[in-house]
Amino acid sequence: METGAALLLLVALLGKSSAVSFYGDSISFSPLQMNTDGRYKVTFFHRENGRNDCQNQASLLCEGGVCMDLDESDTLQTDQDSSGQGRWCQTEKRTTATFQANGTSFTLSWDEVDKAMIRKSQSSPGNSMYGIVLDAGSSHTSMYIYKWPAGKQNGTGIVTQHSECKVQGGGISSYAGKHGGAAKSLEECMKHALKEIPTSRQHQTPLCLGATAGMRLLNIVNQTESERVLQEVEKKLRSYPFLFKGASILSGQAEGAYGWVTVNYLLENFVKYGFVGHWLNPGRSTIGALDLGGASTQITFQTSKKLENQDNLMKLTLYGQTYTLYTQSFLCYGQDQIIRKLLAHLIKTQGVKSQVFNPCAPQKFTISTKLGEDVFDSPCTEKYRPDNLDPQMTITVVGTGNYQQCVNNIKEIFNFTYCSYSMCSFDGVFQPRVTGSFMAFSAYYFTQKYIKEITNITLTSPSRAVEAAKLICNMTMAKIMEKTKAEEKYIKNVCTMSNFVQVLLTNGYHFDEASFPSISFQEKAGGASVGWALGYMLNVSNDVPAEGLSMMKALPSGSWAGIIFLFIVFVFFALVYGVVINRNRTTRSDII
């Protein structure tokens, strides 16, 4: 091939001979284009004809992470047989892939597993199974609906996030003492779930609620009341046609482990759909999970080190592989509780006065605080509580915006001196050295986002984190609001949180200049929210009957190759470059 011809696209359609109810298809694609930003674009047009139901046009998956964007048109469906029996139909779809030119090849594979199942199960309304998880956090509750094909891979369903619903109002623990409040708060989102999940699937859809540190705290304060709230919520959830699996308070350990499962699942570290048309174990190393909630914070990572405290050990089996994890949850080190603890600590050191100075609040920023409700109404601030506290007393907290004093006060909340093991993170908790990459989510993500907005500093090292905190703590509220365009309530604690995150990661978990850059701050991955809920669903889906399994097996094994198409597009970039330069000389016939 001469250089003028330039572009070689190889399309391999393997085993195109088809399954029973399938007439065939055709595929064409446009010549590769180079955008001005150096990315490449190619459009595939796919048409297929079938004898049966072919409503679910398969979609393209991009391998190797080179795709920036896969833009799919709506499926155009032509039902030639107007009797509605679906004896003949044709679907067409256009997919434009935009990708980055950092490799020598990219692969797009056509995933038709779903469709195979649709063909084989005409009577079923959908080929998906669903599951609902209510994440009852300390500050609010989120509902996630997941779905997975009605088949399984080594015991665990391949789960994706279908939709999400935020429950209005506070977390369920905030309804302590308010009968009926917690149950009622969930109604709106449950209505959404009834709409989203096909009626005939509802009775098979597992539904569970997991409560985290907010309820763990309420359980410490008043166990009777926390049980009452859970029972009330459970009664409500049972009244829906779903398969109720339980409402319970997750242990900190489980919360950490499920967060880790979520992160690694979304990054396809356990399984991925390979271009040869079956699930592969990619054999990649897993990444650690850093979660910062409202009332607690978790760290979880895979380790081969000996765990000196067995409470930190978690063994998980997923997709036929066993993983040994270190996991630790710190109650009272979530965002809201840290802010309370800092105030309590300042009041304790300065004395109970009508005015207390807060070096972590912007200069001259004042806020009036009720000692009972806002500071000492939590087991987390118990040890700072002054004798004969008047819970009704209101004090004024005055910001002084002083980085050094702020960071000193925050460090005093931790205990870095006591350790009965060979090594500790803080508060006497054993922790081996952190290894590998980490993903930091929930409040970590938002703190990092605000830091970036305010200072234009990306959190990539301890020194950058310190630099950012110094800048932020020396800013006025007006300046911070101007930079973030966020409401006061979201950003008034940004100096506190910048310092807390920095101290927790470096002094606490011992991330250093070498390991800190391996932390990536993320809210979502692979279209799903990062949190513990997906990991929980994966485990729950483990004992959901795999009705699809027999269906998949019912297909003769030979036809699998026919159902799974495969496009391998080798793009020789050096030559592509030639195309762009010599575009006039290039014709479509150059595409093989």
Instruction: Give the residue numbers annotated as catalytic, written as ranges.
Output: 255
Report, in angstroms and rounded to the nearest whole number, the Rg of the chain calculated over CA atoms. 28
Decide: is 154 part of the binding site for ligand NAG (CB under 6 A): yes
Minimum distance of ligand NAG from residue 474's CB (angstroms) = 4
Minimum distance of ligand NAG from residue 109's CB (angstroms) = 16
Please, are residues 41 and 32 in contact by the beta-carbon 8 Å criterion?
yes
User: For the chain, how many helices (H) and strands (E)?
Assistant: 18, 27
Choices 40-48, 118-126, 157-165, 221-229 (CB under 6 A): range interacting with ligand NAG: 221-229
Which 3-state string (H, E, C) describes 47-115? EEEECCCCCCCCEEEECCCCEEEEEECCCEEEECCCCCCCCCEEEEEEEEEEECCCCCEEEEEEECHHH
Contacts with ligand NAG: how many residues (CB under 6 A)?
Answer: 28
Tokens of 579: 């195309």
- Identity of the residue, 16 or 235, whose beta carbon is nearer to ligand NAG in the bound complex: 235
Decide: is 320 part of the binding site for ligand NAG (CB under 6 A): yes
Choices 62-70, 335-343, 525-533, 579-587 (CB under 6 A): range interacting with ligand NAG: 62-70
Q: Is 21 among the annotated ligand-binding positions? A: no
Look at residue 563 and give its three-state secondary structure.
helix
Contact letters (x/-) for ligand NAG, 237-256, by CB under 6 A? -----------------x--
Decide: is 79 part of the binding site for ligand NAG (CB under 6 A): no
- Identity of the residue, 65 or 545, whose beta carbon is nearer to ligand NAG in the bound complex: 65
Q: Is 57 among the annotated ligand-binding positions? A: no
How far apart are alpha carbons 397 and 378 in whole angstroms?
Answer: 19
Q: Is 296 among the annotated ligand-binding positions? A: yes
- Identity of the residue, 68 or 561, whose beta carbon is nearer to ligand NAG in the bound complex: 68
Choices 79-87, 98-106, 198-206, 499-507 (CB under 6 A): range interacting with ligand NAG: 98-106
| DSSP code string of 405-452 | HHHHHHHHHS--S--SSS-BSSTT-B-PPP-S-EEEEEHHHHHHHHHH
Decide: is 100 part of the binding site for ligand NAG (CB under 6 A): yes
Minimum distance of ligand NAG from residue 368's CB (angstroms) = 26
Minimum distance of ligand NAG from residue 319's CB (angstroms) = 4
- Identity of the residue, 284 or 353, whose beta carbon is nearer to ligand NAG in the bound complex: 284
Please, are residues 569 and 60 in contact by the beta-carbon 8 Å criterion?
no
Closest C-alpha to 465, from 522, 424, 429, 507: 507
- Identity of the residue, 18 or 460, whose beta carbon is nearer to ligand NAG in the bound complex: 460
Decide: is 257 part of the binding site for ligand NAG (CB under 6 A): yes
Closest C-alpha to 153, from 281, 287, 323, 19: 281
Binding residue (CB under 6 A) for ligand NAG from 17, 324, 456, 582 = 456
Host H or E run for residue 488:
helix 488-491
Host H or E run for residue 120:
helix 113-120
Host H or E run for residue 309:
none
Please, are residues 363 and 405 in contact by the beta-carbon 8 Å criterion?
no
Binding residue (CB under 6 A) for ligand NAG from 45, 319, 560, 572 = 319
* Cα 501 → chain centroid: 19
Q: Where do we find the tokens 């990991």? A: 535
Which 3-state string (H, E, C) describes 185-196? HCHHHHHHHHHH
Binding residue (CB under 6 A) for ligand NAG from 45, 88, 244, 279 = 279
Please, are residues 85 and 133 in contact by the beta-carbon 8 Å criterion?
no
Choices 78-86, 164-172, 224-232, 238-246 (CB under 6 A): range interacting with ligand NAG: 224-232
Footprint (CB under 6 A) of ligand NAG, residues 415-444: 415, 417-418
List CB contacts of 206: < 8 A, sequence separation 6 or more.
131, 132, 242, 243, 245, 537, 540, 541, 544
Which 3-state string (H, E, C) describes 216-276? HHHHHHCHHHHHHHHHHHHHHHHCCCCEEEEEEECCHHHHHHHHHHHHHHHCCCCCEECCC
Decide: is 73 part of the binding site for ligand NAG (CB under 6 A): no
Q: Where do we find the tokens 């409470």? A: 311
Please, are residues 215 and 227 in contact by the beta-carbon 8 Å criterion?
no
Tokens of 408: 């000193």
Decide: is 316 part of the binding site for ligand NAG (CB under 6 A): yes
Binding residue (CB under 6 A) for ligand NAG from 28, 77, 80, 102 = 102
Please, are residues 360 and 499 in contact by the beta-carbon 8 Å criterion?
yes
Minimum distance of ligand NAG from residue 482's CB (angstroms) = 13
Minimum distance of ligand NAG from residue 269's CB (angstroms) = 11
Q: Is 531 among the annotated ligand-binding positions? A: no
- Identity of the residue, 88 or 279, whose beta carbon is nearer to ligand NAG in the bound complex: 279
Binding residue (CB under 6 A) for ligand NAG from 43, 281, 309, 507 = 281
Decide: is 546 part of the binding site for ligand NAG (CB under 6 A): no
Binding residue (CB under 6 A) for ligand NAG from 4, 103, 241, 545 = 103
Burial of 278 (0-12, 13-18, 19+ CB in 10 A): exposed
- Identity of the residue, 3 or 404, whose beta carbon is nearer to ligand NAG in the bound complex: 404
Q: Is 168 among the annotated ligand-binding positions? A: no
Binding residue (CB under 6 A) for ligand NAG from 539, 555, 573, 580 = 539
Minimum distance of ligand NAG from residue 281's CB (angstroms) = 4
List CB contacts of 178: < 8 A, sequence separation 6 or more.
none
Footprint (CB under 6 A) of ligand NAG, residues 461-480: 474
Footprint (CB under 6 A) of ligand NAG, residues 380-419: 415, 417-418
User: Can you say which residues are annotated as belonging to the binding site for ATP?
Assistant: 294-298
Residues that bind ligand NAG (CB under 6 A): 64-66, 100, 102-103, 154, 222, 224-225, 228, 254, 257, 271, 279, 281, 316, 319-321, 415, 417-418, 456, 474, 539, 542-543
